[in-house]
Amino acid sequence: MKTKILFIAILGVFTNVFSQEEITSPNNHIKIEIEHDNELYLKVYLNNEELIEKVNPKMEFTGGISFGAGDKIKNPSTKTVDEEIEAVVPVKSKLIRDHYNLLKMSFKNYDFEVRVYNNGWAYRFVSKLKGEIEVLDEQMNLQLGKDYTCYLPEEESLISHFENYYEKLPTSVIENGTIAALPTLFTNEKGISFSVTESNLYDYPNLFLEKTENGFKSKFPKYVLKTQELKAGQDRLEAIEEAAPFIAKTKGKREFPWRVFMIAENDKEIIENNLVYQLASPLKLKDPSWIKPGKVAWDWWNANNVYNVDFESGINTETYKYYIDFASEFGLEYIILDEGWSKSTLNVMEPNEDINMEELTAYAEAKNVGIILWSLWRPLDENMEGLLSKYEAWGIKGVKVDFIQRADQYVTNFYERLAKSAADHHLLVDYHGGMKPSGMRRAYPNIINYEAVKGLENDKWEDFITPEHDLTIPFTRMTAGILDYTPGGMDNAHKENFAVRFDRPMTLGTRAHQIALYTIFEAPLQMLADTPSSYYENRESAEFISKIPVVWEETKVLDAKIGDYLIIARKNGDSWYVGAITDDSARTFEIDLSFLDGNRSYQLEWIEDGINSDKVAKDYAKKSAKLTSEDKIEIKMNKGGGWIGIFTR
């Protein structure tokens, strides 16, 4: 990381409690006014118009100590930083410009920091207290001032799988007390939006929002003292039996998480935002060179329903050798053994009687394919070193940890403890049934994915994973970071022909839409959800998917409208990949290719909706052409459709 610009200015020494400060973004579009009159109040302006009426941050501790109220300011100061961050596992950009203005307000027991970027702002408290402290509560009162449209990821409680649909509602009609997960997106009639989330979450509970009369306020899980014992026959119930009156017990001298507000003046800018990663702690691993992103053949979605084989399919050695053969043939880096591979869901130290793990891992190694194992989080929490040592000895390459559900301080610490221990054993980690990413993967890039999304698995029991849902996720959940949506279904249908089938699931939208998702969704571990047998029958589609990378050096959003359509161009090496999807409306776009490297010719290979894909969603066409950066192309999508092109230099 190289600092290009660094400027510090002392604003003055204040002895009174009241003060008023102002800080703007480097381009002066965003302005934050900070008032301190017994309490901190922040007002947010975009292009000189009020965006957020008031943000009131405060922290309270046992012993009567509080931050953000009744303190005298010592030395307010500002500085401008312009740095370049190089991502170890890049999913949006390899080189990220980190350009912001910082205001630091010093008080007796803490500092209050505000960073303002050209595409958002964030604040945090930095504690100077000594010893161990108990945080009674952290308050972030958000008064909107206007009636925004909210894309609401509602939660019934703070025990959750964090898989949300986003209901589009005026904030005025959301009932007081409604709980929202993060990120939560707010838009206005001018197409301006801001998204609320957090970054650099360590040793602290996950943040939720709760609806109030004038906006939203922060809400946190309490510090857990005791959980309920699992009853006979249960393996994954998460229930709190006793909680403390505080939310965290932690070190007195520390930085608390960033409260992040991503701002976009149009829908394209929402997806290009990278603030959660920029605000996170830098790399903590000494040598991340072993970390290998990639695509993975997945067994659970398709229920191991392989066919045209001479063995009985199931959770057994022969079936997984078949997956390994498929992965090897199509250049996939991994296969996953999901729930069922182990002796029981609570005994993940031994495989079931139908799996010979030593034979399987040796077979995979000979084929240059890695194996990832599924586990509930509780066994890993209770015997982390023993299990990870065993997996490493077997030659396993990663773990998919599932049904975490809680978001209190203990579980946040589990996320880091597992990431660190897994890195020591050269294992990747894929978090499932748990909270959204909050920047931890920057420090631990072996965190290869997070779920926290309503993905393709839901097609097994409902019909809500629609093209419109696919067009909401990039503007909402994906702004927090990587997501394990698990695309790749080959049995495609429109709603009138869709059937809910648990063991042989279908997908909504066209085949081209499904393939385009590999470029739309950011995931350094990208699954192929369907059965290898189905991919063999649809070889052309599978071969095209196998050519799409999972990491990107550069991302450009070419056109976008939340819930309606999205066109993204991403670069890997000398090639560009363009993915486009639409909702249930057919659309045509003309795209100029000026994003391509100039004075070069490219071979374009693309998949588009077939002429009859509005009737038979599996219908598609594969075409090719030679083009340059001076050309334009027409992207035509039928209802629920998509388009995916590879530009090879």
For residue 464, the model assigns a pLDDT of 98
Average pLDDT in the chain: 95
% of residues, the chain, pLDDT over 70: 97
Domain assignment of residue 432, yes or no: yes
CB 444 within 8 A of CB 482: no
* Angle value at C-alpha 601, between 596 and 604, nearest 5 degrees: 75
Distance between CA atoms of 258 and 244, rounded to whole angstroms?
24
The total number of structural domains in the chain stands at 3
Find out whether the peptide bond into 183 is cis, omega within 30 degrees of 0.
Answer: yes
Domain assignment of residue 9, yes or no: no
List pLDDT tens digits, range 392-448: 999 999 999 999 999 999 999 999 999 999 999 999 999 999 999 999 999 999 999
Distance between CA atoms of 108 and 644, rounded to whole angstroms?
56
In the predicted model, what is the mean pLDDT of residues 242-271? 98
| Residue 75 pLDDT greater than 90, yes or no | no
In the predicted model, what is the mean pLDDT of residues 60-69? 95
Same domain, 100 and 231: yes
Same domain, 76 and 225: yes
Q: What is the CATH number of the domain that holds 125?
A: 2.70.98.10
Query: Does the global pTM surpass 0.85?
Result: yes
Catalytic: which of 299, 457, 468, 583? 457
For residue 340, the model assigns a pLDDT of 98
Give, to the nearest 10 degrees, the angle between helix 511-520 and helix 539-546: 10
CB 109 within 8 A of CB 59: no
Residues sharing a CB contact under 8 Å with residue 618, sequence separation 6 or more, in sequence order: 490, 491, 492, 493, 510, 511
Same domain, 311 and 247: no
Same domain, 77 and 134: yes
Same domain, 373 and 303: yes
Q: In which band, very low, low, confident or very high, does the pLDDT at 386 lie, cut at 50, 70 and 90? A: very high
For residue 233, the model assigns a pLDDT of 87
Same domain, 211 and 338: no
Domain assignment of residue 527, yes or no: no
For residue 425, the model assigns a pLDDT of 98
Residue 584 known to be catalytic = no
Same domain, 273 and 306: no
| Residue 307 pLDDT greater than 80, yes or no | yes
CB 579 within 8 A of CB 628: no
For residue 18, the model assigns a pLDDT of 58
Same domain, 486 and 585: yes
Same domain, 565 and 500: yes
Of 432, 449, 466, the last residue of a domain is 449
Distance between CA atoms of 377 and 616, rounded to whole angstroms?
41
For residue 517, the model assigns a pLDDT of 99
Domain assignment of residue 217, yes or no: yes
Distance between CA atoms of 401 and 338, rounded to whole angstroms?
10
Phi-psi category of 46—alpha, beta or left, where left has phi over 0 and alpha has psi -120 to 50? beta
Domain assignment of residue 444, yes or no: yes
Q: What is the CATH number of the domain that holds 338?
A: 3.20.20.70
| Residue 11 pLDDT greater than 90, yes or no | no
| Residue 94 pLDDT greater than 90, yes or no | yes
CB 227 within 8 A of CB 404: no
Same domain, 483 and 562: yes
Same domain, 374 and 401: yes
Of 433, 449, 465, the last residue of a domain is 449
- What is the layout of strands, in order, in the sheet containing 398-402? 447-450, 428-431, 398-402, 370-376, 334-337, 294-297, 525-528
Distance between CA atoms of 435 and 451, rounded to whole angstroms?
8
Domain assignment of residue 7, yes or no: no
Catalytic: which of 155, 198, 238, 402? 402
Of 449, 475, 490, the last residue of a domain is 449
List pLDDT tens digits, range 166-219: 999 999 999 999 999 999 999 999 999 999 999 999 999 999 999 999 999 999
Domain assignment of residue 2, yes or no: no
Residue 459 known to be catalytic = no
CB 149 within 8 A of CB 168: yes
Same domain, 301 and 259: no
Q: Where in the sequence is the domain holding 342, given as residue range(s)?
A: 294-449
| Residue 12 pLDDT greater than 60, yes or no | no
Residue pointed to by tokens 């050695």: 317
In the predicted model, what is the mean pLDDT of residues 489-506? 98
* Angle value at C-alpha 552, between 548 and 555, nearest 5 degrees: 110
The three state secondary structure string of 264-321 is ECCHHHHHHCCHHHHCCCCCCCCCCCCCCCEEEECCCCCCCCCCCCCCCCCCCHHHHH
Domain assignment of residue 540, yes or no: no
CB 425 within 8 A of CB 380: no
